């Protein structure tokens, strides 16, 4: 059996990920989010607010004997209020960094610790963003957190490489990690972006045009692109990239 832990499964790309995986009876999906919107025999749900640091640190992964694949997909994230620095609320900054950066870091740490000796294909997929590569006004926390997730992923990949060099392949079956940007996807986040104030967000019209001109990708098609990539994890050398690079 295969086991996939996915954060943010209540809607958008996370829900599409889960529903796509559940088409295969060999897959078990474990959703992690505040709300449950999926009912399936092979689906389990952990109700967890990933912006709550105390609750987050209490989460435990479970052993899965004889698993063929064990994956963690850190999908949950938030753009938060679109405002320039100086207009942001302190508690919102803390919550957004916790959800976007601290949660995937804590879960990745716990995932590697739990399954270090598991003889399975093990991979971590962080949902990145082009906003982690280029600044966008009004998105300071989101841009910074996604850039940090990219670097965190690079370091984990480096550590896994160093460890594999010093261990017998029969002893150490390491983890693959990726930080993959999905492009511009038609999710609730895009709805929130289009409601921003022009005063606080200079590129508002560009995002409105994405919707008007059908420039947004469908979450279902995006999730299927991700899994076409993940079917070939052993052949992918990059850690940080865009899903569009593999169209």
Domain spans of the chain, in order of start: 2-185+218-246
Q: What is the mean pLDDT of residues 205-228?
A: 84
pLDDT over threshold 60, residue 159: yes
pTM of the model: 0.92
At the topology level, CATH places domain 2-185+218-246 in Rossmann fold (3.40.50)
Q: What is the pLDDT of residues 37-55, one digit of tens each?
A: 999 999 999 999 999 999 9
Minimum mean pLDDT range among 56-65, 85-94, 197-206? 197-206
Query: How would you list the strands of the sheet with 27-33, edge to edge?
Result: 43-47, 27-33, 2-7, 69-74, 121-127, 175-181, 240-242
Q: What is the pLDDT of residues 53-76, one digit of tens each?
A: 999 999 999 999 989 999 999 999
- Known catalytic residue at 142: yes
Catalytic-labelled residue, pool 115, 142, 210, 226: 142
Report pLDDT for 170.
47
Q: The tokens of 90 are what?
A: 């302190």
């Amino acid at each position: 059996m295969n086991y996939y832990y996915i954060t943010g499964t209540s809607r958008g790309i996370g829900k599409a990920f889960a529903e796509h995986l559940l088409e295969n009876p060999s897959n078990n999906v474990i959703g992690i989010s505040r709300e449950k919107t999926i009912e399936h025999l092979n689906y389990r749900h952990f109700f967890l607010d990933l912006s709550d640091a105390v609750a987050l640190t209490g989460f435990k992964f479970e052993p899965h004997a004889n698993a063929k694949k064990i994956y963690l997909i850190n999908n949950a994230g938030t753009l938060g209020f679109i405002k320039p620095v100086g207009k942001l609320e302190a508690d919102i900054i803390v919550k957004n960094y916790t959800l976007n950066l601290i949660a995937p870091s804590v879960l990745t740490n716990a995932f590697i610790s739990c399954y270090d000796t598991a003889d399975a294909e093990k991979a971590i997929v962080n949902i990145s963003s082009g906003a982690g590569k280029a600044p966008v006004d009004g998105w300071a926390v989101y841009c910074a957190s996604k850039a940090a997730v990219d670097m965190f992923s690079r370091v984990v990949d480096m550590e896994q490489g160093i460890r594999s060099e010093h261990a017998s392949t029969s002893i150490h079956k390491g983890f693959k990690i990726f930080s993959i940007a999905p492009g511009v996807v038609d999710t609730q986040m895009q709805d929130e972006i289009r409601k921003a104030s022009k005063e606080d967000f200079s590129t508002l019209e560009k995002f409105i045009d994405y919707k008007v001109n059908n420039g947004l990708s469908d979450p279902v098609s995006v999730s299927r692109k991700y899994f076409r990539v993940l079917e070939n994890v052993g052949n992918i050398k990059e850690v940080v990239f865009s899903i569009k690079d593999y169209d």
